[in-house]
Amino acid sequence: MADTKISELIEDTQPTSDDLIVTVNNPGGTPVNRKVTISNLNLILDHNSLKNYEAEEHFTQEGITKVGTVTEGNVDAVVTNASDSSKGKVELATISETNTGTDATRAVTPDGLSGSNLGTKALQITVFDYTKEVVKGDGCGYITIPSSYNGMNLVAVHARVITAGTTDTTNIQIYNLSKALDMLSTVITIDSGETGSDTAATPAVINTVNDSVASWDILRIDVDAVSTTKPKGLIVTMEFRLP
């Protein structure tokens, strides 16, 4: 048996953990034959594999950290500006910048767009014809909310008469008939001798609890008071925007 070559030994196709393997210790110096169990050999191999994995993981994380530091410390050196023909870094536009509408380098977000003038929708109704006197009463005009306005809030109101009234104010309320509530906590007023509510001494105030609208809501225009000398013609404008 001592003279048999290893290659001539019978193959062990089902080795167990306690089987022995011959090793040569210190082959570059004074070689000595040793034995090792398969179990211990596997432990050594597993240990070395774990060390190699940890070394590779550390190298990768170190590389990410360095790249991240460069990116955060000097973005301009790493990423160029985006354009309409190439990718890159870009600043997000504020609502006021979106309203200006002249910036060609910033990106508009959906939230910024919905909160801007571009995300604002208007409805306008002629309550009284331009030559007719305005009279007091509920239900002087009605308007239906389109489905594209669903979920929006009333954000601005304005009233206009064609011929100014005199003595006392003309007051207008917007009533959501579908929800049975007033949308204004302070009504729209047109002062004596004026034709628009934008010059009113007491500006209209929207009730932020009652300002939302849904698809096909019916809004009613109520005239709560009229100047002594009645104005003629009445146009009411309402602006809506997503919250």
- CB neighbour list of residue 34: distance below 8 Å, 6 or more residues apart: 22, 23, 24, 25
Nearest to 174 by CA among 123, 130, 216: 123
- Residue 168: other Cβ atoms inside 10 A: 14
pLDDT digits (tens, 9 = 90+) for 137-184: 999 999 999 999 999 999 999 999 999 999 999 999 999 999 999 999
Report d(CA 133, CA 142) in Å as an integer: 18
Domain residue spans in the chain? 20-78, 80-114, 120-241
pLDDT in tens, 64-90: 554 444 455 555 556 778 777 777 777
Cα 101 from Cα 58, distance rounded (Å): 48
The two three-digit tokens of residue 67, written as one number: 């790249």
pLDDT over 80 (residue 219): yes
Instruction: Give pTM, 2 decimals.
Output: 0.61
- Which of 159, 155, 115, 117 minimizes the C-alpha distance to 141? 159
CB half-sphere exposure, 193, CA atoms < 13 A? 2
The CATH number fitting domain 120-241, selected from 2.60.40, 1.10.760, 2.60.120, 3.90.1340? 2.60.120
